[in-house]
Structure 1
Amino acid sequence: MKRAKKQIFHDYIAKHGLKSTRQRDIILDAFLSTDRHLSIEELYLKLRAKHPNIGYATVYRTLKLFAESGIAREMQFGDGQTRYEHVTEGEHHDHLVCTGCGAIIEFENEAIEKLQDDVAAAHDFVITTHKLELYGLCAACRK
């Protein structure tokens, strides 16, 4: 899967006349190696120790390119930061967001998906995309 996402990204930058750079490849590898919803700053800090020559602006611009190419999705979870998550063709999940510690938990629930389809059908509505985010406190924050 990582190889396919790398190819999608490289095809995208070639199609748009952009350079394939070592810095972009390092950022891509770091992004693809995590399952977290990363902010620009989190990814930058992850990279900084091993690659001090990669600046914040480069990470910012590269994450934007990932989103434009379709391998990442920009997400807002109410904390003022844009976060990026992997996009996998045909996969869908929703999110539980802890307002205490900021944890983001992905989940899938077929009953919720069916209910959304039923509601849309009852209103003669065709869903093209959607997102569900539930906000509250995780078990650790409730203690």
Structure 2
Amino acid sequence: MSSASSTELYHDSLPLVKEIFKSYLREKNQRQTPERFLILDEIYRSDSGHFDADDLYFRIKESGTRLSRATVYNTLELLMDCGLVQKHQFGQNQAHYERAYAYQQHDHLICKECGLVIEFCDPRIFEIQRMMESLHNFDISEHSLHLKGRCNDRDACQKRQEQGASLKVRRDE
């Protein structure tokens, strides 16, 4: 799936995602505030895949909206609980998140030195998942695979370390 079609898919799914969130909030007797839906909109309209809570907070603040960090963190928790956002701990101190609805299942290679995250999809993992379901009479609803190691291209790894960006994501397609 190309990044353009992936972005379109997220944009197209926004009305359904909003309905899922509304239903979840009603079910849990939580308020349906404009701030919560603004956060949801930003996550699903943005082209960025992985993000941290502070990135999200500053993107929304830049638009002139008054919002607290606590609202961002609390809303992310609600979005994780209802399955619309997934949380990752890639080894840095800060958690990263990504959209979880209408996304292609993928896994991550993580360089422990420079922080590079490579997303990949291997159908054999799906086959193993199905085999485990059958073998153990178990219904798997999600999985997360993070393989950590070190980049083989030491020069590129060193350069990324020197640039100091918090998260670098590459998608193998």
TM-score computed with the length of structure 1 as normaliser: 0.80
Matched, 1:96 2:96: no
Matched, 1:76 2:89: yes
Q: Is the 8 A contact 1:37 1:104 kept in 2?
A: no
SS in 2 for 1:13: helix
Matched, 1:141 2:154: no
Q: Is the 8 A contact 1:101 1:141 kept in 2?
A: yes
SS in 2 for 1:134: strand
Letter in 1 for 2:29: G
Structure 1 ranges of 4+ moved more than 6 A:
none
Matched, 1:56 2:69: yes
Letter in 2 for 1:23: E
Residue of structure 1 equivalent to 2:24: 12
SS in 2 for 1:38: coil
SS in 2 for 1:44: helix
Structure 2 Cα separation of the partners of residues 12 and 133 of structure 1:
29
SS in 2 for 1:73: strand
Residue of structure 1 equivalent to 2:10: none
Residue of structure 1 equivalent to 2:35: 23
Change beyond 3 A, Cα 1:138–1:2: farther
Count of equivalent residues: 141
- State the shift of 1:100 in Å: 4.1
Structure 2 Cα separation of the partners of residues 28 and 19 of structure 1:
14
Q: Can you list the C-alpha shifts for 1:36-66, whole angstroms capped at 9, x where unaligned?
A: 2211111112112113511111101011110
Letter in 2 for 1:106: E
Letter in 2 for 1:59: V
Counting aligned pairs with the same residue, the percent is 31
Q: Can you list the C-alpha shifts for 1:60-95, whole angstroms capped at 9, x where unaligned?
A: 101111001111112111112222111136842101
Q: Gaps (5+ residues) in structure 2?
A: 1-12, 160-173
Structure 1 Cα separation of the partners of residues 79 and 152 of structure 2:
30
Q: CA RMSD in A?
A: 2.7
Structure 2 Cα separation of the partners of residues 114 and 47 of structure 1:
40
Change beyond 3 A, Cα 1:15–1:114: closer
Q: Gaps (5+ residues) in structure 1?
A: none
